[in-house]
Amino acid sequence: MEKSDLIYVAGHAGLVGSAIVRSLNQSGFHNLLLRTHAELDLTCQHAVEKLFQEYRPDYVFLAAAKVGGILANWERSAEFIYENLMIQNNVIHQSYVSGVKKLLFLGSSCIYPKFANQPISEDELLSGKLEPTNEPYAIAKIAGIKLCDSYRRQYQANFISAMPTNLYGPNDNFDLETSHVLPALMRKIHDAKVNEDDTVVVWGSGQPRREFLYIDDLADALLFLMGNYSSEGPINVGCGLDISILELTHLLMEVISYQGLIEFDQSKPDGTPRKMLDTTKLDKIGWRPKVSLKEGIELTYNWFLDNVAKHFGQ
């Protein structure tokens, strides 16, 4: 990418998109095309076509998506499959039509089978049944990878697909019903501390294992991939370490300084037992994460205190 190139970051207000914008700005890329959800409905084919015809961006980071935690994915699966299919169909197709030089599509580690071999290499894609709680979302994301691959094969479009592990950091969603586990537990533990509650509730058994990547590390990896990688199929982005939800709870309690008890709500699903990504492919082209989980949690908690807790008068 040249500093003068026009770069469209779809979904720039979200967790991933906002980190990409920060990273682009820090690297001297300031010619950015950004539209909020209110300004542009990416599920609308005509609106997306108009944007691409008018601005003709050189590069596209497709970070716009309907995302959510285990419960939201289960209860609102129609929205998750419909909106994601529409967004990616529109953005990927218009990127081809308007001659975008390179597009990076973002998926998720839930595209891999529920019982994939661990750590999960890119070859596990479509080798088994998906985790039911997020199957509709995962199928949309798999369709996105296949779109990129097909446009590459048929039209020689330089479209790539990155599959990040579970992400967290500033601008995350801290809503207890729809968020992912790390921000949800951060908020619950913070609230328990402020309210002097004896216990904090953790969904499921606490036994599932998850890998967590700090969002600025992800953005750094995505810029690296834009510059150094052009190939079909997904490429995993992770940190190579996973922990159980119980261990994560203890780490959060340590950072937040809360000494209460942990209660398990077994009426909530555990989801997939383990999803740790094999990052050999990314390692080989020379990218490694920099932020440890503890550091990342501290940075996120400071952001939470300044930007979320304040609004609740805590």
64, 185, 221, 237: residue in contact with ligand GDP (rule CB under 6 A): 185
DSSP-derived letter for residue 277 is B
Smallest separation, CB 209 to ligand GDP (Å): 9
Angle between helices 181-194 and 245-256 (to 10 degrees): 40
According to DSSP, the residues that pair with 265 across neighbouring strands are 203
Both tokens of residue 257?
């300084």
Regarding 166 and contact with ligand GDP (CB under 6 A), the answer is yes
- Which part of the chain contacts ligand GDP (CB under 6 A), choosing from 86-94, 201-209, 294-302, 303-311? 201-209
**Footprint of ligand GDP on 217-256 (CB under 6 A):** 245
Size of the site for ligand GDP (CB under 6 A): 21
* Chain residue whose CB lies nearest ligand GDP: 69
- Quick one: 57 or 113, whose CB is closer to ligand GDP? 113
Regarding 84 and contact with ligand GDP (CB under 6 A), the answer is no
Both tokens of residue 201?
């509730």
Regarding 130 and contact with ligand GDP (CB under 6 A), the answer is no
The active-site residue, picked from 137, 168, 214, 258, is 137
Regarding 270 and contact with ligand GDP (CB under 6 A), the answer is yes
According to DSSP, the residues that pair with 203 across neighbouring strands are 265
Query: What own/partner pairs with CB < 8 Å and gap ≥ 24 does 125-131 have?
Result: 125/233, 125/234, 131/271, 131/272
**Footprint of ligand GDP on 30-69 (CB under 6 A):** 69
DSSP 298-309: HHHHHHHHHHTG
- Quick one: 92 or 239, whose CB is closer to ligand GDP? 239
- Quick one: 157 or 185, whose CB is closer to ligand GDP? 185
Helices (H), 57-205: 70-75, 77-97, 135-155, 181-194
Catalytic status, residue 8: no
Helices (H), the chain: 15-26, 45-55, 70-75, 77-97, 135-155, 181-194, 215-228, 245-256, 280-284, 293-307
Smallest separation, CB 185 to ligand GDP (Å): 6
Give the residues lining the site for ligand GDP (CB under 6 A). 69-70, 110, 134, 166, 179-181, 184-185, 202-204, 208, 210, 245, 268-272
Catalytic positions are: 137
